[in-house]
Structure 1
Amino acid sequence: MFTAGLLLPERAQIPVAGASRADWNPRTFWYEPWGASGVHKGIDIFAPTGRPVVSATAGIVVFRGELKLGGQVVAVLGPKWRIHYYAHLSSFADKPWLVASGTPIGAVGSSGNAVGKSPHLHYTVLSLIPLPWLATRQTQGWRRMFYLDPGALLTEPA
């Protein structure tokens, strides 16, 4: 089963309906300083409040709820044993725990530590398997072996 998860193909689509690469700044991944977290471990895709957020990949919803910093969040376990984390949502979609790529999972918002800021989706891709070649000497660089640059993985929806 473990090997099967690694062999599954991964094609991640942009997780905000109607968004393009122009809707986020690719230089913000691992940018510092970034508030309480020190470095920014994802990208922020800006869109109007209520715009649908879709699962970037097929997978299993492993968490849907409220967190202090992320506000309303959804986490999806996708191919290659990667967690796709969607934060600052304004609402959740009432969907099953098994999702296909493009399945609505929520809506863009400003919840958690984004209250009062421009509405956006904070999107992070976290590897459950350490990738030591990604570690750096930057601030929190050892953690880089668990975080992938989400912007580099995303493709336009089919």
Structure 2
Amino acid sequence: MKRKIILGLISFLIIGLLIPQNFSVPVKDASKADFNQNSFWHYPWGKSGTHKGVDIFAKKGTDVLASTSGIVLFAGEIEIGGKVIIILGPKWRIHYYAHLDNIQASLGFISRNEKIGTVGDTGNAVGKQPHLHYAIVTLLPYLWQIDTAPQGWKKMFYLNPVTLINKDLTN
């Protein structure tokens, strides 16, 4: 019985890794001019110390789209991120969308490019230019990404979304 559970869990993990990601830019009609190419892992950055994602600037109310298909794990409000959505996508990656003006996603499955909310300035972005803070966290650490930067050991759990965004914008 124990062996069947372990084999089932391993199969489940492998299947999650094999599902193709099929990535899209999460802000409708965004271009390379709408975000700083070097903002990922920028230090120092507010209370978090290090900026672990990318800020994509747009007019308040611009559509935010799911960058991958996945399962919405959380859609609500937290102190720093304001109105946020957290989606578990392919390859066991968590996609974090923060500072939304409104949320239009609910718990459950979501398709890539489906509207999940709009760009805003909630949480610690109040009073700042409206933007989407977008981050990708991996549940399976990428040990080769550890470096000597501040909080560098945490870097093995974060992927640079700028790489995926640039790739999608050139396709």
TM-score relative to the length of structure 1 = 0.96
| Aligned partner letter, 1:119 | P
State which of 150, 156, 159 in structure 2 corresponds to 1:148: 159
The answer (yes or no) to whether the contact 1:13–1:157 under 8 Å persists in 2 is no
Between the aligned partners of 1:93 and 1:156, the Cα distance in structure 2 is 25
Distance 1:94 1:59 in 2: 12
Q: Give the conservation status (yes or no) of the 8 Å contact 1:14–1:157.
A: no
* Count of paired positions: 158
Q: Which residue number in structure 2 is paired with residue 114 of structure 1?
A: 125
CA distance in 1, matches of 2:109, 2:170: 19
Richer in helix (by share): 2
In 2, the alpha carbon distance for the partners of 1:24 and 1:150 equals 11
Cα distance between partner residues in 1 of 2:132 and 2:157: 20
- Kindly name which structure, 1 or 2, has the bigger radius of gyration based on alpha carbons: 2
Contact kept? 1:59, 1:100, Cα under 8 Å: yes
The answer to whether the aligner puts 1:128 opposite 2:139 as a matched pair is yes
CA contact (8 A) 1:71 1:88 kept: yes
Q: CA deviation at 1:157?
A: 9.7
After the TM superposition, which of the residue ranges 72-81 and 8-17 deviates more from structure 2?
8-17
The 10-residue stretch of structure 1 (10-19 or 107-116) with the greater mean CA deviation from structure 2: 10-19
| Residue identity in the other structure for 1:82 | R
Distance in 2 separating the partners of 1:95 and 1:157: 31
Structure with higher RCO (Cα < 8 A, 6+ apart): 1
CA contact (8 A) 2:75 2:105 kept: no
Q: What amino acid sits opposite 1:32 in the alignment?
A: Y
Question: Which blocks of at least 5 consecutive residues in structure 2 are unaligned?
Answer: 1-11
Partner of 1:97: 108
Q: Offset at 1:143?
A: 0.2
- The residue that corresponds to 1:137 in the other structure is 148
Specify the alignment match of 2:47 in structure 1. 36
TM-score, normalisation: structure 2: 0.89
